[in-house]
Amino acid sequence: MLLAHLAPPVLILIAVVLQPLVTGFLAEILVEVGEDVTGNSRLDEETVSLVRLATRVRIAVAYGRLEENPDTGLPSITAIGKYLVREKAVAQQVHALLQEWGEGERAVSAASTVEQEPAR
């Protein structure tokens, strides 16, 4: 009988003590997630820079400012370096990133698909 009378106050005490602890824990998680969503990046500066440069190259190819190699579907490393006004090492990294994204494969497969379609 005594246990039945003590259970509700003990449960309330536990809730009052644990609520701030749980809230603090969850608040830390939400702050970390909020920082990621609001623009803080987990990528290092060099990686972010390479992604931006690769995006510039993709846009240049789309607008015809950079010529693609028909075999690879990507601009040459030299052309990328000249367009971005960067050294060869950076141009190679951008080219490798575009290959990783599969840009060249998509361009080559799209060109071959267009060539295979019969004239109407």
Q: Is the pLDDT reported for residue 115 higher than 80?
A: no
Q: pLDDT value at position 15?
A: 86
DSSP assignment of the chain, as one string?
A: -HHHHHHHHHHHHHHHHHHHHHHHHHHHHHHHHHHHHTT--SS-HHHHHHHHHHHHHHHHHHTTSSPPPTTTSS--HHHHHHHHT--HHHHHHHHHHHHHHTHHHHHHHHHHHHHHSPP-
Instruction: Say how far apart CA 54 and CA 93 lie, in whole Å.
Output: 9
pLDDT band of 81, cuts 50, 70, 90: very high
Token pair 């992604």: residue: 51
Cα 86 to Cα 74: distance, rounded to the nearest angstrom: 17
- Mean pLDDT, the chain, rounded, equals 80
Residue that the structure tokens 């789309």 belong to: 62
Taking only the tens place, the pLDDT of each residue in 17-35 is 888 888 888 887 777 766 6
pLDDT at 46 exceeding the cut of 90: no
C-alpha distances out from residue 73 to 29, 93, 117, Å: 44, 16, 19
pTM for the model: 0.56
Q: Region 37-41: what's the mean pLDDT?
A: 57
pLDDT band at 41 (very low <50, low <70, confident <90, very high): low
